[in-house]
Amino acid sequence: MSTRPNPTLRILSLGAGVQSTTLLLLSAEGRLPKLDAAIFADTGWEPRSVYEHLNRLEREVAEPAGIPIHRVNSGNIRADALNPEARFAQMPLYVRGHGGGQGMLRRACTAEYKVKPIKVKVRELLGYPHPKPVPTDRYVEQWIGISSDESSRAARMSDDVQYMRSQFPLLFLPGGAKPGVGWSRSDCIRFLAASGFQSTPKSACIGCPYTGNARWRKLRDERPDEWADAIKFDEQIRHGNARAIANGTPLEGEAFLHRSRVPLDQAPIDRVTAHEWSSRQTDVFEQVADAETEADQRGCSPWACRGEDEEDDAA
Ligand code: SF4
């Protein structure tokens, strides 16, 4: 039995996607314990729809319930990539070497632009900003929006600082369509639709290389300004980030946002992959709720980046 004292604070890691939005609403309604705060880590390059959704959540749900939403950041991922003076944490760009070999840059962006500013804020909320040591009896219970269809993510996660302890409330919620396993992503979508939040968007950088073809198509067809922005960025990072180039260490090859390793405006995004077809078949409700595939609706969570799953679907 744990001898750990009760948490000092209960906070939500708010990615503003389906699962974390569900947790915020359930807490605000009193169906889950009251949160002390929610934290949104902003890379500065989210789609407009995410910021609009966040504003609405704050106005209609969080503020009336007395749950402050803290927006934190470690810079602007897009601007930092193009600024030779800025410190930049690498995005998982697809690379084609001069000799034709293919690879992918190691992802450092989630840790830098999402995890790091959340930890800074948590320390501040606890009253022990860096470098003050946090006493062992002071910690936050951090809610993470992982649903039953991805419960293996929760099993793989381990807390790396003693002042944050992860909890996955969706996995223990009664009332899901499948008894005994908590709420699935589909359960969350049903709940959100019934609560007036049927259009909860995916939270991820506009130009995230983990983006699958369905999301690229949606960007091209429905948000042409954001599509143009991604195309421009794709061109600008062809030889790596600006700081590396300025330091005389340009990429040995060329970098791309799309897995096909061709410029984004020429990439085969109209190709419907096997994964996308299978997602369309397996969840009729999600098809009705939103024409995107399940894979393309998942976003970049600070603590359980769903991006890697999309990589297989991105060709
Ligand atoms: S959405 Fe993609 S690019 Fe943005 S932080 Fe997450 S992994 Fe990095």
Cβ of 203 less than 6 Å from ligand 1: no
Provide the CB-side half-sphere exposure for 311 (13 A, CA): 15
Taking the model in full, what pTM does it have? 0.90
Six-digit token string for 8: 């000092």
CATH number of this structure's domain 9-311? 3.40.50
Burial tier of 191 (Cβ tally within 10 Å: 0-12, 13-18, 19+): buried
H helix intervals, the chain: 18-29, 48-57, 63-65, 77-82, 109-110, 116-126, 151-156, 185-194, 213-222, 224-236, 242-246, 274-282, 284-289, 294-297, 307-311
Min mean pLDDT across 47-56, 261-270, 278-287, 291-300 is at 291-300
pLDDT tens figures, 259-272: 999 999 999 999 98
Cα 300 to ligand 1 centroid, rounded to whole Å = 6
On whether the CB atoms of residues 84 and 245 are closer than 8 A, the answer is yes
Cβ of 230 less than 6 Å from ligand 1: no
Candidate of 13, 42, 43, 80 to mutate for ligand 1, largest count of ligand atoms within 8 Å of Cβ? 43
pLDDT of residue 244: 85
pLDDT of residue 114: 95
On whether the CB atoms of residues 275 and 295 are closer than 8 A, the answer is yes
pLDDT tens figures, 73-99: 999 999 999 999 988 889 999 999 988
Domain borders along the chain are: 9-311
Burial tier of 146 (Cβ tally within 10 Å: 0-12, 13-18, 19+): buried
Nearest CA to ligand 1 atom 8: 109
Is residue 314 pLDDT above 90, yes or no? Answer: no
pLDDT tens figures, 112-123: 999 999 999 999
Instruction: Please give the average per-residue pLDDT across 184-204, as a whole number.
Output: 94
pLDDT of residue 3: 60
On whether the CB atoms of residues 242 and 255 are closer than 8 A, the answer is no
Is residue 278 pLDDT above 90, yes or no? Answer: no
